[in-house]
Amino acid sequence: MINLEERSQVAFGKPLAQIGDAQVCRLLQDLVREHCQTLPIMEGKRRLYYVSAEFLIGRLLINDLINLGLYDEVREQLAQAGHDLAAVDDQEVEPSLGNGGLGRLAACFMDSVATLGLPGDGVGLNYHYGLFHQRFVDNQQTALPDEWLGEQDCLEDEGKSFEVQFGDFSVVSHLYSIDVPGYHNGKRNRLRLFDLEGVDDSLVPDDSIDFDKTKVAKNLTLFLYPDDSDEDGRLLRVYQQYFMVSNAAQLIVSEAVERGSNLHDLPDYAVVQINDTHPTMIIPELIRILTQEHGIDFEEAVGIVRHMVAYTNHTILAEALEKWPLEYLAKVAPKIAKIIELLDQMQREEHDDPAVAIIKDGTVHMAHLAIHYGFSVNGVAALHTKILEETELHPFYELYPEKFSNKTNGITFRRWLMGCNPDLTSLVDKTIGTDWHRTADLTPLMAHVDDDEVLDGLVEAKGKAKARMREFLLTHQGVTVPEDAIIDVQVKRIHEYKRQQMLALYLIWKYLDIKNGNKPARPITVVFGGKAAPAYTIAQDIIHLILTLSSWIANDPDVAPYLQVIMIENYNVSAAERVIPAADISEQISLASKEASGTSNMKFMLNGAVTLCTLDGANVEIADLVGEDNIYTFGTSSREVERLYAEGAYDPQAYYHKPGIKLLVDFITNPAFMATGNEERLRRLHDDMAHKDWFMALLDLEEYIQVKERVYADYEDRGAWVRKALVNVAQAGTFSSDRTIAQYNEDIWHLVPQK
Ligand SMILES: *Cc1c(COP(=O)(O)O)cnc(C)c1O
């Protein structure tokens, strides 16, 4: 069917064997584009619009080839011509349209929505420079613009534009889209990204992400999450949010009308899922359009919108629950501010409780707006939803118990197993057949947990994945990982609640232990990766500690042969696809109650890593599925953590002064160590840990050290370990995003699947 040889001749006048990886990449991208364009767009009277500030889609080539059913054929033809698909894939620029788990979730969801044949699109913004590109200079993070747009981006011009009216000026948008083919179902949806007509890339210097934040009419779609440490930055975020939702709302209304809606029946034509609070202003914006542009009266418009917007909560961290001064909204979008005031009044007439007010002291609580005027609120893991219902959103749960539900997150197995781990995929295929490609049911593997052939196959697949990771780390940043090393990984955004600092303290402990002559049975390689928000000082300090420790250990000949610390530069989806398949240990050590779900925990499990975790987020569900013999848990329970916060009862000094802990924390500020790093950063981090430790790393540290030692010791019982790894793969099916999306559809969206 496909003939890459011929395509190569036509495009480059050369045989396939003689063109370079970059040219092969171009050929395949063209092939994918042509195939996508032959697929009909999914139709349905009622459509989903999944509105999100982020879509961390990663590279598209391999995932698209898999979904289009071209993967095996392409791989074979390339192999015959001496090309390796993975090397070709490395030529693709990764779109940088997200930040972390929330954006990656949106991307997995788009894949699953298309695969289940549901008519629904993602709607977001086309950021020219993404979040930022992370580079390490002097063991510190620097942030550079991440320029991903260019010849090979896969944006199609939809030729649609809308006008967006701000307080004292208006702008025009332009709509692009990226095809999202379903897995083997011959149809597609789209990721639809609005750009700003007249956006000015020259506002961004080459070597920094600082730009003039006041030139709103020219900068709106330059960056995701522009620095909001000053008022210009915060205002810009509000401008961006309104730009996103105004475009989304206009798109939704115009398409519903095209499909025959008279707008009084709009909920029969569209359901809007808002991914966290960033798109909340779509509620007043839809009301504005219905009332002011279509003459529907206010109460009816509110009723219409109340039946079509659903909200996903992603966090209970107070600083992440968005609140905007009403005056910002009044400046950016005065009509929207007015409507929010009316909605607030209406709500107060119904419920006289300040705890659920939308506007408090001139501040708009976006989540409250979404809960009152949406029809659904969901958490993203069982524990998280329970905390929302019982604690964080309890007053709302009392008012609207029927709106609340749990939808435990998931990941697409097309990318996170079939695409990133071909050797494990073929082992699974050989062992249980290929039904799991559709059903994600891997439990038939449970019949093989004592099957030596399968266990040996798993060791072999892990070995090959480790070889690919070693190659990646060597070319990406010039580090050599020992062949027989245990690979122990914590990759995710850098945040105090995720507690990378606790793993760093463990590494200090291990360093000192090895110095004292206790040599591990084999080399240990600990891999970190993650970006920190540029304005988040302590997170920058944590990166600095990790990088300084990494050099310190590498330069100590007594310890370096046994312990290695690597921090991946510019951790992104492509890096995740190299590292996760190679991992033996998955570090999920957030302070219990703080990680809403986590999704890297699911990716690791699916790829045969054993989880070392607190009972937080979806770790709780992983632990239930695999059983206590196949996971390592530790740490203070979420209930106890909540009590400590509520009573202000945690005192870090009491832990800091334990001799075993003080030694580790003080290592950070010992003069010889500080001389190799940045004194200000290291001192600040030391003092923060000793005196504040808001996320209680010291509370769980001693137990963490004990459990880690047990994990490393258990790893040496190779037979038992590999069995654990296989149980983890076998039980991962629950975490397919196809399951998650089927639940969203069943309980919230009610879309009719296209056969
Ligand atoms: C999956 C993923 C995340 C989310 O990781 P968590 O550990 O769940 O926070 C973040 N970044 C990238 C690139 C990912 O692929």
* pLDDT score of 152 more than 80: no
Query: Got the DSSP string for 84-151?
Result: -HHHHHTTSPPP----SHHHHHHHHHHHHHHHTT--EEEEEE--SS-S-EEEEETTEEEEE-----ST
Q: Would residue 458 count as lying in a domain?
A: no
Q: Is residue 444 part of a domain?
A: no
Asked if the structure places residue 331 within a domain, the reply is yes
Which of 93, 115, 137 is the last residue in one of the domains?
Answer: 93
Task: Kindly give the number of the ligand 1 atom that is closest to the alpha carbon of 603.
Answer: 1
User: Probe ligand 1: pick from 275, 491, 586, 740, max atoms within 8 Å of CB?
Assistant: 491
Residue 257 falls within a domain, yes or no?
A: yes
- The token duo for 206 is 């080459």
State in Å: Cα 328 to ligand 1 middle.
32
Helices (runs of H) and strands (runs of E) counted in the chain = 32, 21
The atom number, within ligand 1, closest to the CA of 411 reads 1
- Is residue 590, in this structure, part of any structural domain at all? yes
- d(CA 571, ligand 1 centre) in Å: 9
Task: Report whether residue 576 contacts ligand 1, using a CB cutoff of 6 Å.
Answer: yes
Banded pLDDT at 317 (limits 50, 70, 90)? confident
Q: Which helix (H) or strand (E) holds 16?
A: none
Whole-number pLDDT of residue 320: 78
On whether both 254 and 235 belong to a single domain, the answer is yes
Is the shortest distance between the CB of 598 and ligand 1 below 6 Å?
Answer: yes
CB 581 within 8 A of CB 471: no
The finding on whether 608 has its CB within 6 A of some atom of ligand 1 is: no
Instruction: Summarize pLDDT for 366-417 with one digit per residue, the tens.
Output: 999 999 999 999 999 999 999 999 999 999 999 999 999 999 999 999 999 9
pLDDT tens track for 550-571: 999 999 999 999 999 999 999 9
Residue 153 has pLDDT above 90, yes or no: no
Considering the domain architecture, whether residues 15 and 118 belong to the same structural domain is answered as no
Give a yes or no: residue 418 inside a domain: no
Q: Are residues 383 and 519 in the same domain?
A: no
User: Quick one: 534 and 402 in the same domain?
Assistant: no
DSSP 8-class letter at 634: -
Cβ neighbours around 703 below 10 Å, total: 13
Q: 43 CA to middle of ligand 1, Å?
A: 32
Q: Is residue 421 part of a domain?
A: no
CB 104 within 8 A of CB 198: no
Q: 190 forms bridges with which residues in the sheet?
A: 179
CATH code at 518?
3.40.50.2000
Is 50's pLDDT higher than 90?
A: yes
CA of 102 relative to ligand 1 center, distance in Å:
8
Which residue, judged by its Cα, is nearest atom 1 of ligand 1? 600
Whether residue 749 is predicted with pLDDT greater than 90 in this model: the reply is yes
Which residues neighbour 690 within 8 Å (Cβ) at sequence distance 6 or greater? 652, 653, 656, 665
Query: 290 and 207, same structural domain?
Result: yes
492 within ligand 1 shell (Cβ under 6 A): yes
pLDDT at 600: 98
Q: Is the CB of 154 under 6 A from ligand 1?
A: no
Q: Are 652 and 691 in contact (CB under 8 A)?
A: yes
First vs last C-alpha separation in the chain: 24
| Same domain membership, residue 552 and residue 660 | yes
Domain for residue 558, yes or no? Answer: yes
Helix axes 334-350, 366-373, angle to 10 degrees: 60
Q: Taking residues 10-21, report their average pLDDT.
A: 97
Nearest CA to ligand 1 atom 9: 492
Q: Are residues 242 and 318 in the same domain?
A: yes
**CA 200 / ligand 1 centre spacing (Å):** 31
Ligand 1 atom at minimum distance from 599 CA: 8
Does residue 180 share a domain with residue 74? Answer: no
Distances (CA, A) of 468 to 13, 421, 463: 32, 10, 9
Read off the pLDDT band of 207 (50, 70, 90).
confident
pLDDT per position as a tens digit, 439-482: 999 999 999 999 999 999 999 999 999 999 999 999 999 999 99
Residue 20 — left, alpha, or beta (φ > 0 → left; ψ -120 to 50 → alpha)?
beta
Confidence of residue 755 (pLDDT cuts 50, 70, 90): confident
Q: Is the CB of 101 under 6 A from ligand 1?
A: yes
Q: Whose CA is nearest to atom 4 of ligand 1?
A: 101
User: Measured on CA atoms in the order 654, 657, 660, 665, is the torsion positive or negative?
Assistant: positive
Band of residue 641 on the pLDDT scale cut at 50, 70, 90: very high
CA-nearest of 362, 322, 355 to 340 is 362
| Closest of 605, 607, 592, 596 to residue 637, by C-alpha | 592
Residue of the CA atom closest to atom 2 of ligand 1 = 101
Ligand 1 and 573: CB distance under 6 A: yes
pLDDT band per the 50, 70, 90 thresholds, residue 523 = very high
Alpha carbon of 242 to ligand 1 centroid (Å): 27
CB burial of residue 623 (10 Å; 0-12, 13-18, 19+): middle
Query: In angstroms, what is the span from residue 576 Cα to ligand 1's centroid?
Result: 8
* Residue whose entry in the numeric block shows the structure tokens 């991946």: 568
Could you tell me if the CB of 117 is within 6 A of ligand 1? no
CA of 572 to the centre of ligand 1 (A): 8
Tell me how far the alpha carbon of residue 84 lies from the centroid of ligand 1, in angstroms.
26
Domain identity same for 653 and 605: yes
The confidence score (pLDDT) of residue 141 equals: 98
Closest CA to 632 of 701, 679, 684, 586: 586
Looking up tokens 């118990």, which residue turns up?
401
Residue 317 to residue 648: CA distance in whole angstroms = 16
Nearest residue (CA) to ligand 1, atom 11: 100
Asked if residue 121 and residue 87 are part of one domain, the reply reads no
Pocket lining: 104 vs ligand 1, CB cutoff 6 Å: yes
pLDDT digits (tens, 9 = 90+) for 728-740: 999 999 999 999 9
Give nearest CA residue, ligand 1 atom 8. Answer: 598
Q: How many domains does the chain have?
A: 3
pLDDT at 579 over 80: yes
Cβ atoms within 10 A of the Cβ of 430, count?
A: 12
For the CA of 576, the closest atom of ligand 1 is: 15
Q: Which residues contact 196 (CB under 8 A, 6 or more apart)?
A: 171, 172, 173, 174, 217, 218, 220, 221, 243
Cα angle at 673 between 672 and 678, to 5 degrees?
A: 115
Could you tell me if the CB of 100 is within 6 A of ligand 1?
yes
What are the residue numbers of the active site? 314, 492-493, 498, 599, 603
Find residue 172's DSSP bridge partners: 163
Tell me what pLDDT residue 614 has: 98
How far apart are the CA of 514 and the centre of ligand 1, in A? 31
Amino acid identity of residue 743, one-letter, is Q
- Tell me if 590 CB under 6 Å of ligand 1: no
Candidates 104, 315, 614, 737: which one to mutate for ligand 1, based on the most atoms within 8 Å of Cβ? Answer: 104
Ligand 1 and 600: CB distance under 6 A? yes
Residue type, 512: L
Residue from 57, 599, 605, 616 whose mutation best tests the ligand 1 pocket (most atoms within 8 A of CB): 599
User: By residue range, what is the domain housing residue 9?
Assistant: 1-38+59-93
Residues 4 and 48 in one domain: no
Same domain? For 51 and 84 the reply is: no
Residue 354 is classified by DSSP as G
